[in-house]
Amino acid sequence: MAGAMKRHRVLGESNLEKGQFTDGTLLKWFLPYVLVASLQYQFTKDALYYASPFVLMSFRYILVGAIFYFLGGRKFQLDRDTILVAFFASFSSIFWAIGLSTVASGDSAVLSYTMPLFAIPIAYVLIRERATHKEVVGALIGFGGVVVYSTTLSHGSQFVGALYTILGAVFWGGYSVYYRKLRAKKPIPILTTQFLLGSIPCLVGAVFYPQARFTLNLVGDLIYIVIFTGVVQFYLWNGLLRRGRVGRITTLAFAVPAVTILIDYIRGISVPTTYSLAGAVLMFVGIFISNWHKGETSEKEDRSLAHSDYQSKENSSK
């Protein structure tokens, strides 16, 4: 009887922790994320005029890691999963920055948010979220959108930049699923390890590509990149994935590229072509189909995951 009551309590707590968002929770976590993330492309693009991707990401990772280190009481989280988070995140940022140095910020935003197409199979491997027929069809439609969108970039360095950006999205999908997998652990020690350990590949690359011109513009960009797109954005993204399924959160996050493209258009930086709009629409439709579930199905899957969490804890305590 006591065991059943304990299991019921754990399942209830786990569902609250990662279950269905209330409107208040969405406003608290998602809207600030969209506002911060939508501007990261413009600030990072500007900073790349003054520093190489490796130098810029080195500064970002070291400074953000130091901030999380002191915010989290000088604690690290060192285990296999957290180390993988660090290197997935590091390579994601490096590839994203290299791609952003050659493509427009709006293009980078759309291509980066192909991430859910890769997160679906990764989530199945790591946390056993099975892909439905809708998810498979949606992934194929989304990939078609990537192909259509990339035709507008198929010349010279822009095409290469697009490939780097998509590669960054693959690694982003990887560490996003690991955030979900590690949802039962405290987030700040994980983020501390992610940034401090993740700075190593950035520093190695900076040895070979040390270009940097320190100006007031670079300092201003770094402030936004470190504080907002580093500390604030990653804490929010981790919090979102601790509280909601990978499919649902990544689908909601597609507000970010839409806002980024709008910002580029308003600023006169780029005007979307027919092909780029068609490709973006296909990607959005594909990812929406891939991750859409009826609330009842999602809740059952959350309960299944919660039960699995409970059994793992029980086994480890024996």
CA nearest neighbour of 217 among 9, 47, 3, 76: 47
H helices present in the chain, as ranges:
2-18, 23-47, 53-71, 80-100, 105-112, 115-127, 133-150, 156-181, 187-208, 216-223, 233-243, 246-252, 255-266, 274-291, 295-317
**Positions of the chain with pLDDT lower than 70, given as ranges:** 1-27, 129-132, 135-136, 150, 152-157, 251-252, 254, 261, 269-270, 287, 290-318
Q: Name the pTM for this structure.
A: 0.79
DSSP conformation class of 50: T
Q: What is the pLDDT of residue 235?
A: 94
Q: What is the pLDDT of residue 219?
A: 95
Q: What is the pLDDT of residue 312?
A: 41
Give Cα separations from 117 to 97, 182, 186, 247 (angstroms).
20, 21, 27, 10
For the chain, the structural domain boundaries read 29-298
Q: What is the pLDDT of residue 155?
A: 57
Three-state DSSP class for residue 292 = coil
Q: What is the pLDDT of residue 175?
A: 93
Residue 211 and residue 159 in contact, taking contact as beta carbons nearer than 8 Å: no
Q: What is the pLDDT of residue 130?
A: 67
Q: What is the pLDDT of residue 117?
A: 78
CA nearest neighbour of 129 among 22, 235, 30, 249: 249
**Using CA atoms, how far apart are residues 232 and 129, in angstroms rounded to an integer?**
28
